[in-house]
């Protein structure tokens, strides 16, 4: 499905990263992959990269560094003369912008969450524009249509990411490029462990998702990202695809499955 596609994947810090599953699946589907990482965590990214099916390069990118963004196209051009797909899997909020103190969070922390988690999607797209070839850009979202417990200013940043993706679809579409988001259910990653109350979110998903939801399995999300990288989705842009076991579509908890209901549906 991705044979010959050149896909840049940000956001691999370890093997639990959603981006790691995306890189693995993309390679299995025939893509060439380059990863980005930065600073002290680069060694962790390189260790994880060694577990991918095929060897990959890791290039430096702190998405808040203008110097890294300027250098990025030349770094990639050493290996590829174009880019077909980009995964934005980057988010960060200072601790005082999360965890239930929405009203008390300092201005600087809210701005930092926005800069790293939303503005960075535009910054990345802009830096890569000279290399994009009818490219598919994909970002990772957590449904910003409602206010969640504890998610606080990261939730606001995700709302901004959703809007940013629509503007990218508009700005890049005439050049033949697409921008879409996957709105994922909760996955147990390093970023998730920094969200106080993550386990109660995970419990809500287990109880509420019509298809069920496994927080340790990022592959349903990775598969949908690959679908968006593929030509099968060539006319989809500005979209938010929920990969959440159907949770977003229902209110309340699922009724427990009894032997009678199981018999009735079989």
Ligand X SMILES: NC(=O)c1ccc[n+]([C@@H]2O[C@H](COP(=O)([O-])OP(=O)(O)OC[C@H]3O[C@@H](n4cnc5c(N)ncnc54)[C@H](O)[C@@H]3O)[C@@H](O)[C@H]2O)c1
Q: Tokens representing 216?
A: 């340790």
Q: Given 5, 158, 167, 219, which residue is catalytic? A: 158
Contacts to ligand X from residues 146-185, by CB under 6 A:
184
Burial group, residue 89, by CB count within 10 angstroms (0-12, 13-18, 19+): buried
- Long-range contacts of residues 166-173, Cβ cutoff 8 Å, at least 24 apart: 166/238, 167/122, 168/121, 168/122, 168/125, 168/137, 169/237, 169/238, 170/238, 172/125, 172/129, 172/132, 172/137, 173/237
Residue found by looking up tokens 């599953």 in the block = 21
Min. distance of Cβ 53 from ligand X in angstroms? Answer: 19
Min. distance of Cβ 98 from ligand X in angstroms? Answer: 11
DSSP 213-248: --TT--HHHHHHHHHHHSGGGTT--S-EEEESTTGG
Site string for ligand X, 98-117 (x = CB under 6 A): ------------------x-
Phi, psi for 58 (deg, rounded to 5): -120, 120
122 tagged catalytic: no
Min. distance of Cβ 65 from ligand X in angstroms? Answer: 8
**Stretch near ligand X under the rule CB under 6 A, chosen from 83-91, 93-101, 102-110, 163-171:** 83-91
**Stretch near ligand X under the rule CB under 6 A, chosen from 6-14, 27-35, 77-85, 168-176:** 6-14
121 tagged catalytic: no
- Binder of ligand X out of 155, 186, 208, 220 (CB under 6 A): 186
Min. distance of Cβ 192 from ligand X in angstroms? Answer: 4
Tell me the CA distances in angstroms from 193 to 161, 202, 224, one per residue in order: 21, 11, 23
Q: CA 94 to CA 222: how far, in whole Å?
A: 27
Site string for ligand X, 28-67 (x = CB under 6 A): ----------x--x-------------------xxxx---
Q: CA 248 to CA 208: how far, in whole Å?
A: 9
Measured from the CB atom, is 62 or 133 closer to ligand X? 62
Site string for ligand X, 197-236 (x = CB under 6 A): ----------------------------------------
Measured from the CB atom, is 27 or 36 closer to ligand X? 36
Measured from the CB atom, is 29 or 192 closer to ligand X? 192
Phi, psi for 132 (deg, rounded to 5): -70, 135
> Which residues does residue 166 pair with via DSSP β-bridges, in sequence order?
none
Q: Which residues bind ligand X (CB under 6 A)?
A: 10-13, 17-19, 38, 41, 61-64, 89-92, 116, 140-142, 184, 186-187, 189-192
């Amino acid at each position: 499905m991705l044979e010959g596609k050149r896909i840049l994947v940000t956001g691999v810090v370890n093997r639990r990263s959603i981006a790691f599953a995306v890189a693995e699946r993309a390679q299995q589907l025939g893509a060439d992959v380059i990863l980005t990482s930065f600073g002290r965590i680069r060694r962790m990214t390189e260790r994880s990269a060694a577990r991918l099916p095929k060897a990959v390069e890791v290039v430096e990118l702190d998405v808040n560094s203008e110097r890294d963004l300027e250098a990025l196209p030349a770094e990639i051009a050493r290996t590829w003369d174009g880019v077909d797909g980009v995964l934005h899997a980057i988010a960060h909020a200072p601790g005082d912008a999360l965890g239930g103190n929405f009203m008390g969070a300092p201005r600087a922390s809210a701005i930092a969450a926005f800069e790293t988690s939303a503005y960075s999607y535009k910054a990345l797209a802009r830096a890569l524009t000279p290399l994009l070839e009818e490219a598919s850009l994909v970002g990772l979202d957590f449904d910003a249509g409602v206010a969640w417990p504890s998610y606080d200013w990261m939730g606001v940043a995700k709302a901004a990411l959703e809007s940013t993706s629509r503007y990218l679809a508009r700005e890049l579409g005439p050049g033949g490029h697409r921008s879409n988001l996957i709105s994922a259910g909760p996955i147990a990653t390093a970023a998730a462990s920094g969200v106080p109350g993550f386990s109660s979110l995970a419990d809500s998903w287990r109880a509420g998702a019509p298809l069920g939801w496994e927080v340790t399995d990022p592959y349903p999300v990775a598969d949908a990202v690959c679908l968006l990288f593929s030509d099968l989705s060539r006319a989809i842009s500005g979209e938010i695809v929920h990969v959440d076991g159907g949770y977003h579509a229902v209110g309340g908890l699922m009724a427990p499955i009894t032997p009678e209901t199981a018999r009735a549906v079989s």
